[in-house]
Amino acid sequence: MSLGIRFAAGISTLALAAVIGGAVPSFAADNSVRIQLDAMNGTGESGVAILTPQGKKTVVELQMKGGPNDPQPAHFHTGTCDNYGPRPLYPLRAVVKGTSTTTLDLPIEKLTAGDLVINVHKSFDDIATIASCGLAKPK
């Protein structure tokens, strides 16, 4: 093998190692917490809340299935799914066509201490009915 071919092969190997090495830390650095949201009150709507820390903020993404196309209010509440505080503690953007993304000015640790629930209401017209809910705590 000539010197030029060995040099090119070495550069290719270094480039591949850099790409692979760059990809590994991004997967290892993912500190997201997934919260299962279970259907309630016969709605058949369930999903997941993905909480991703961003310094002192947290991105909350809701991915729902089985719900309506109309906007649905979503919040963090104190309490449990069966007995939660009536006033929302941290409002989230409405779920529209199954998705919602909100950035909260709170660290993820404050949201996942285990004393909060995330709930998605059936609709703005029927806010008293909870469509889905989950305890905001890592498993």
Residue type, 12: S
Q: If you write DSSP's letter for every residue of 24-76 in order, what string do you get?
A: HHHHHT---EEEEEEE-TT---EEEEEEEEETTEEEEEEEEES--SS-EEEEE
Q: Structure pTM?
A: 0.77
Mean pLDDT, rounded, for 32-61: 97
Answer for the pair 135, 38: CB distance below 8 angstroms, yes or no.
Answer: no
* Residues 6+ away with beta carbon under 8 Å from 64: 37, 45, 46, 47, 72, 95, 98, 99, 120, 132
Average pLDDT over the chain reads 84
Here the tokens at position 77 are 């509440």
Taking CA atoms, 113 is separated from 2, 24, 88, 135, in Å, by 61, 29, 17, 10
Mean pLDDT, rounded, for 27-33: 67
The domain segmentation of the chain, as residue ranges, is 1-30, 33-135
What pLDDT is stored for residue 11 in this prediction? 40
- Is the pLDDT reported for residue 137 higher than 60? yes
Model pLDDT for residues 8-29, shown as the tens digit of each residue: 444 443 333 333 333 333 333 4
For the domain covering 33-135, report its CATH number.
2.60.40
What pLDDT is stored for residue 106 in this prediction? 96
Lowest mean pLDDT segment, chosen from 23-27, 35-39, 41-45, 58-62: 23-27
Model pLDDT for residues 57-108, shown as the tens digit of each residue: 999 999 999 999 899 999 999 999 999 999 999 999 999 999 999 999 999 9
What pLDDT is stored for residue 48 in this prediction? 98
